[in-house]
Structure 1
Amino acid sequence: MRGWWQDLTDLVLPAECAGCGTPRTVLCPRCRAALAGGVPRRVRPVPEPPGLPAVYAAAAYADEVRAAVLAHKERGLISLAAPLGAALAGAVRAGLRGTAAGPPGTAGAPGGHGGGPAGGGRAPVLLVPVPSARQAVRARGHDPTRRIALAAAAGLRRGGVAARVLAVLRQRRGVSDQSGLGSRQRRENLTGALTTAPHGAALLRAGPVVLVDDLMTTGTSLAEAARAVTSAVYAARVREEMEAYRTGRSRKEGNPVYRASEMRRAYGAGHVICAAVVAASPDSVVENQELTKNVHRCR
């Protein structure tokens, strides 16, 4: 594991730019622009796994951006958490703007603050990181996705968007190394692999959910995370409604116990409204030309 003196050295005396190797800087202006200088846009992998929410990416996973993401994740350069978190925050904002689905009074929702000053009574956006395997976190000495999620949440709050990080997803079983696996093999490897921590469903109901990760390749991790969140929150709601029905407190009309499909589509607290990532595979389909320009610039 990395020592605290190594982390301090990275912060105070960066050896070189993580993207291109320019000396004496964490991330040079050119690489910073490649990471977060464009307009984050919606992306989707091909093939698209079932259950994948709308995904927004800040940049293409190529060249300087790829080097910066890997330096933070694999080499533990924690000084990169701030610029990566800023890029992730931009992708979250794009997702909130592009999702007309948030509950009234929340960021990105019709009638919400949409980036203005956060007011009282508005539910915070919940950033839920896709978890890494425990052995990977131990080997790296840190949890990279959680770290950049915290940086992104801080940046969103500074910009007036109420946001907090909920690291409530857990791996319920071991999974194989994803590298070298095709999209179908990744889906089989990850299906049913995630669950929520005890009382996680209750915490998730504090606001709308945005799944976050540093990278999207095939989208299978995000799709499994969406399934785990939705299943946990829906099961908790059904249990409450069943208890209310048993004690005679449930509404007879519109009881969501008997309208499961509507419950799953209902936007609000605990609902996964979108996903946001720092970077997406250059093979992903983009919804406009801006990210395509970023892809070409990074190559």
Structure 2
Amino acid sequence: MVVGDGGRELSVVGGMLGRVLSVVLDLVLPQTCAGCGAKGARCCGRCLAELTARPARRLPRPRLPGTPDCWSASPYEGAVRKAIVAYKERGAVALASVLAEALAFTALTAIGRTGAPWAARGFAVVPVPSGRASIGARGHDPVGGLAELAVRRLRMFGVPAVPWAALSQARRVVDQAGLSSPQRVANLAGSLRVALAAKGPPVASVLLVDDIITTGATLVEAARALRAAGVSVPMAVTVAATRRRS
């Protein structure tokens, strides 16, 4: 075994142990809200309201060519930002249910407000994939987990959605932090593909899901890969959207 592979395995094991420890601590220690720190549930009623009160179309500016219609539950700020960071980076997996509810509610709102004839015919919910190193370090696939839970919520409301983990990494990319919109596009170009292990598209249309939209470059690349496989990608839904500043 080469040293690099050993390091990756240690990272995966460390991430899994961290997730297990986080779950155990959630069970035995007094809970505080990830959004505001109040004692009680991991997401208190006030922060839950902040997370779900403002589902809306939030397109990145400028809108990149190939960007699907983008809706998010909330701006990426305040309690919402803290909850996403706690879930994604700090192992607070108990927040998955709350964040998935926000995704599903936003999808229902978007479908209702736009009409979305493609949704009535059934669609697949496809998560934007995380890299293997990120999954190993975190001990879980944050967006993949949210997508599965969101599908369950949608089906409870009679929406004909099915999960489809179609996308995989085709190549490595550099950390996106600090990159401009054109730099992100160049960094991500050709980085995703429809996984060879994925069966053919179960339906004709896809709803893309991710945790955050910033420039939209990630969603553009995901949509490109899916469209290359012959699938329509009319809409994307995220938990939050960053406010773009010039």
TM-score, shorter chain, exceeding 0.5: yes
Secondary structure of the structure 1 residue equivalent to 2:58: strand
Q: State yes or no: 1:7 paired with 2:23.
A: yes
- CA gap of 1:209–1:14, structure 2 versus 1, over 3 A, is farther
Structure 1 counterpart of 2:10: none
- TM-score relative to the length of structure 2: 0.87
| Matched-pair identity in % | 42
Q: Which amino acid in 2 is paired with 1:217?
A: T
What's the offset of the Cα at 1:30? 0.9
- 1:93 corresponds to which of 91, 96, 108: 108
Give the superposition deviation at 1:94: 2.6
For residues 8 and 32 of structure 1, the distance between their equivalents in structure 2, rounded to whole angstroms, comes to 23
* 1:184-209 residue CA offsets vs partner (Å, 9 max, x unmatched): 1101000111101115361x242421
Matching of residues 46-195 of structure 1 within 5 Å: 46-103=61-118, 107=119, 112=120, 123-195=121-193
When Rg is computed on C-alpha atoms for both structures, the one with the higher figure is 1
Q: Does residue 281 of structure 1 match 2:216? A: no
Contact 2:19–2:138, Cα closer than 8 Å, also in 1? no
The residue number in structure 1 matching 2:212 is 215
**Structure 2 residue ranges without an equivalent (≥5):** 1-14
Please state how far the C-alpha of 1:41 moved relative to its aligned partner. Answer: 1.2
Return the alpha-carbon distance in structure 2 between the equivalents of residues 81 and 72 of structure 1: 7
Distance verdict in 2 for CA 1:11–1:161, change over 3 Å: farther
Residues 129, 213 of structure 1: 8 Å contact kept? yes
Any idea what SS the aligned residue of 2:117 has? coil
1:35 aligns with 2:54: no
Unaligned runs of 5+ in 1: 113-122, 234-269, 285-299
Deviation of 1:48 (Å): 1.4
1:61-100 alpha-carbon deviations (Å, 9 max, x no partner): 0010000001000011111001100100112113323444
Deviation (angstroms), 1:218 = 0.5
User: Is 2:22–2:92's contact at 8 Å kept on the other side of the alignment?
Assistant: no
Preserved contact between residue 55 and residue 95 of structure 1 (Cα < 8 Å)? no
Number of residue pairs the alignment of both structures matches = 229
Do 1:14 and 1:26's aligned partners in 2 also have CA atoms closer than 8 Å?
Answer: no
Could you say what secondary structure the match of 2:207 adopts? strand
Deviation at 1:169, TM superposition (A): 0.4
CA distance in 1, matches of 2:93, 2:23: 7
State the partner residue of 2:6. none
* Distance in 2 of aligned mates of 1:212 and 1:101: 16
| Separation in structure 2 between the aligned mates of residue 138 and residue 221 of structure 1, nearest angstrom | 20
- State whether residues 11 and 79 of structure 1, in contact with CA within 8 Å, keep that contact through their aligned partners in structure 2: no
Kept in 2, the 8 Å contact 1:210–1:276? The answer is yes
Amino acid of the structure 1 residue aligned with 2:240: A
How do residues 264-275 of structure 1 correspond to structure 2 at under 5 angstroms? 270-275=231-236
Query: What RMSD over aligned residues (CA atoms) do the two structures have, in Å?
Result: 1.8
CA contact (8 A) 1:208 1:271 kept: yes
The 1-side partners of 2:56 and 2:206 are apart by: 18
Aligned to 1:200: 198
CA offset digits 1:127-180 (Å, max 9, x no partner): 100111111111000000011111111111111112222111011011000001
